[in-house]
Structure formats: structure tokens, C-alpha cells
Amino acid sequence: MLSSGRTVSSRLLRPVAWFPLRLGSDGRAASSLHKEMIKKHELEVDELRPLYMDFQATTPMDPRVLDAMLPFQVNYYGNPHSRTHAYGWESETAMEAARKQVADLIGADPREIIFTSGATESNNMAIKGVARFYQAKKRHVITTQTEHKCVLDSCRILEAEGFDVTYLPVKQNGLVDLELLEASIRPDTSLVSVMTVNNEIGVKQPIKEIGKICRSKGVFLHTDAAQAVGKVPINVSDWKVDLMSISGHKIYGPKGVGALYVRRRPRVRLEPLQNGGGQERGLRSGTVPTPLAVGLGAACNIAMQEMEYDHDRVSMLANRLVQKIMSAIPDVIMNGDPEQRYPGCVNLSFAYVEGESLLMALKDVALSSGSACTSASLEPSYVLRAIGADEDLAHSSIRFGIGRFTTEDEVDYTAEKCIHQVRRLREMSPLWEMVQDGIDLKSIKWTQH
């Protein structure tokens, strides 16, 4: 049970006002109007904000990153592409130093790093750019059903242009079947795109093995590594990756900046999405925002120094959270492979509890029921459906994100509050009562009136 006298060492925590939950016509989720009322109330009330446990959606900026950026916001404001005076030279020097910091983190050459506005742009550039450049001879692309939405939508755009796209299913643990992947590669396949760490269930794909397969077949490999860079060791040469997408705000850097790694040898060619002054090797025209690039570089530099410590600490906190919850309440399922995963992303399904209802009950903890990019939808997560989760379990999932600044007290509070609210919601559930009476719910034929 939740101890009322517990003190949590976070400046963000204070219980928020509770609204009675209004169910929709399908009995599963609060109406959007009701949600807006809650949102409006919380933004207007002069209260401290909830604990932050959503590190897959975004991360707070590391203060050291801000320190590195500030001089370029105020004093060193030159255009890094101005070649005729000191203002431009000092900004260019800072930009190139940041480029090297990004490259060093993934074992690349600085000339292979292209600054972008974030991982969504990087993914669009890589997938559309490679497919369109090689379309005269190759018009087939392979990806998986559990990719980020920007990858899937980029592939659908290519399909509308006449390309053939194969969306590979994944196994129940969320991992790609390597034999199926190899069998799917055709003579006209130009690109395979598989994300390194999944943003919803934390599963880490065997990119090194996939890289070997793709290189042996003469096919380029792109990986969306937004959730992996700075958190797990990466070497693009060892992994035989040809293109890699990076996001600044997932590694305690600024929002609005990212990078795309594009291999030089063997050379990868891509058609630019954006045309203009020819910056970034002609692949991404536009003035590079020096403060943001410096911030991304600083975030990568800090991550390289502290990755091992961060990983060990996040692993400890994640194990603490999972053990506390799963030892206290039954019928809790961890989604995704238990071993091949990034520990800071914990996705749990609480049987006989509606995920949206649980989120509403846990308003003093910032959590998510899936990707922040699609969380406005009440449809069950397509990632969970792809790994074979039943619709009711897919609807009952909560993603817990643990990061560099998460404390043990925050983990303990979250676990205890979650246990308390799951028990409360199950006591209100007729399905839970039927299960306790030994009724097999799958054997019941439900009728609609």
C-alpha cells in the first residue's frame, strides 16, 4: 500500500486534483473533452509538476550542455558558413568540434556526420534519399512493423511513388527474424531500415548481425538509433551500418537538432530533401544552428564519458521498479525480450486494467501508454499488436522511462503508487472479479445490445 507519510526527494512532486473518470461509449477510455478539462486544470493551478518518468519521449537538458551552448546564443552569434570574418570562423570552429564529438560517440569520421533538425528528418532523409537516388535500378525497401511512425510513413510515401516495400513481422519477443530478413532481400533491394532500440518496448535489435547480412548482399543498412545513441555502445564500422539517425533531445541535449551518419566508404549516395546553399555536403541545405549543434556535441561528449555509469545505474533502477511491481501484484506482463533490451525503457501490461484509466490515476507521475508521437490515439499500440499482444493487454500497457536524473525515491514512489492504483482499479473491474471466481474470459461469448 502507498505510505501516506513518505517523502520523495524531488522538487517536482505534489499530488494533483482528482477528477472522476468519464468512460467513452466503448467503456475503455476517458473522453477527449474530459482529458482537456484535466489538462487545462493542471496547467492553470499553481502546483508543482509531477515526477518525470517518460525519458523515451524526451530528456531534460543536462546543465553542462546548456553551459556549452550559452556563449553561442549571446556572444558568438556568427553564421558558421560566413568565410570572410572572425564571427563566422569562430562559429564554424565550434560547429566542427561538435561534429567530431558526435562522430566519436559512434566511431565515425566527422565528415560523415550531417546536422539535421532531429531524428524524424534524419529518417526521412535516409529512407527517401537512398531509395530515390538508386531508383533507376533498385526499387525495393525493407523495414519492420515496429519502426517509429516517421520510418513507416516515409515508406508509405515511397509506395505511393511506385516503390515496393516489405514490412517484416517481428517475433513475440520483438526481435527481427534474421533468416526471414535475409530471405526477403532481393536483387532490386536498395535499403534495409531497422531501428536499434525500440521507443515503446526497449527491445535492442541485433544490428551487427543485420549489418553483416546487408553488406554480404550489397544492400545499404539504415538504423534509427535515436533511443540507443549515448545509452549503449555503438560502432558504425563494426556494425557495418551505412546510415544512422540521431536525436539531440533523447540524450539530454537540446530539442530541434539531430544528425544523420552517412558512410563515405563504401560511399552511400542519397538525393537531398532540401535544396539551397549546399551546406552539409549538399545533403541538407540551410544554416546550421551553431548553439544547437554545440549542444548536441556536448551531450554526445558527456554520454561517451558517462555511458557505462549511466547504464549500470539505470539498470539498477529499472530492476528495482520491475521487481517491486511484479512481486506485489499478479498478472503483470513485461513486453519485449527480457534480455536483449535497453533497461531504461520498461513496458508493462496490467491485465484487467485499462491503461488510460491507470494513467489518469497516476497523474502525479508523468508516464506514457506508448510513443509520444502517437499518444493522442486511443488505438492500441501497433508495436504491441506486432509482437502478438492481445488487444486488451495492448490497451493495458504503460511505458516507464528511467534516465540519468531519476532517483531511487522516485522509482519507489512510482512503484508504490502504481501498485495501489492497479489494485484499486481491479477491485472496480467486473472482469477481475470473474477471473478471481475462476471464469476463463476467453471462453465467454460476448453479445452486444
The pLDDT value recorded for residue 432 is: 76
The pLDDT value recorded for residue 48 is: 74
Cβ atoms of 318 and 202 closer than 8 Å: no
The average pLDDT across 371-387 equals 72
Higher pLDDT, 49 or 146: 146
- Of 330, 360, 333, 357, the residue nearest 347 (C-alpha): 333
Higher pLDDT, 98 or 12: 98
Question: What sign does the CA torsion over 104, 105, 106, 107 have?
Answer: positive
**What's the chain's average pLDDT?**
90
| Strand 113-116, strand 140-144: pairing | unpaired
Residue 56 grid cell: 523515451
DSSP class of residue 341 equals B
The average pLDDT across 119-128 equals 98
Query: Taking the CB of residue 415, how many other CB atoms lie within 10 A of it?
Result: 21
Q: What angle do CA 86, 92, 97 make, to 5 degrees?
A: 130
Question: pLDDT-derived band of residue 23, with 50, 70 and 90 as boundaries?
Answer: very low
Residue 440 in this model has a pLDDT that exceeds 90: no
Residue-wise pLDDT for 405-436, tens only, equals 999 999 999 999 999 999 999 998 877 777 77
- Of 120, 128, 118, 180, the residue nearest 156 (C-alpha): 128
Q: How many angstroms separate the Cα of 348 from the Cα of each of 1, 345, 393?
A: 19, 10, 9
The pLDDT value recorded for residue 194 is: 98
CA gap 139, 190 in Å, rounded: 7
The pLDDT value recorded for residue 27 is: 44
The pLDDT value recorded for residue 9 is: 44
CA gap 427, 420 in Å, rounded: 11
Q: What angle do CA 342, 55, 94 make, to 5 degrees?
A: 95
Residue 391 in this model has a pLDDT that exceeds 90: no
Catalytic residues: 373
- Of 202, 166, 233, 436, the residue nearest 341 (C-alpha): 202
CA gap 437, 358 in Å, rounded: 23
The pLDDT value recorded for residue 17 is: 40
CA gap 72, 124 in Å, rounded: 28
Question: Alpha helix (H) ranges present in 345-401?
Answer: 355-361, 382-386, 391-395
CA gap 91, 56 in Å, rounded: 31
Residue-wise pLDDT for 283-321, tens only, equals 999 999 999 999 999 999 999 999 999 999 999 999 999
* Nearby residues of 29 by Cβ (< 8 Å), 6 or more positions away: 23, 354, 356, 357, 378
* Nearby residues of 295 by Cβ (< 8 Å), 6 or more positions away: 61, 65, 66, 68, 69, 248, 253, 254, 257
Higher pLDDT, 378 or 85: 85
Question: Alpha helix (H) ranges present in 12-148?
Answer: 32-44, 63-74, 86-106, 119-133
Percent of the chain with pLDDT over 90: 79
- Of 63, 52, 41, 65, the residue nearest 13 (C-alpha): 52
Amino acid in position 206: P
Cβ atoms of 193 and 223 closer than 8 Å: yes
Q: Tell me the sheet residues that pair with 224.
A: 245
* Nearby residues of 415 by Cβ (< 8 Å), 6 or more positions away: 320, 321, 324, 325, 328
What domains can you pick out in the chain, each with its CATH number?
63-302 (3.40.640.10), 307-440 (3.90.1150.10)
The pLDDT value recorded for residue 442 is: 67
Q: What angle do CA 244, 388, 442 make, to 5 degrees?
A: 165
CA gap 226, 247 in Å, rounded: 5
Query: Taking the CB of residue 320, how many other CB atoms lie within 10 A of it?
Result: 15
Residue-wise pLDDT for 328-374, tens only, equals 999 999 999 999 999 999 999 999 898 889 999 999 999 998 644 44
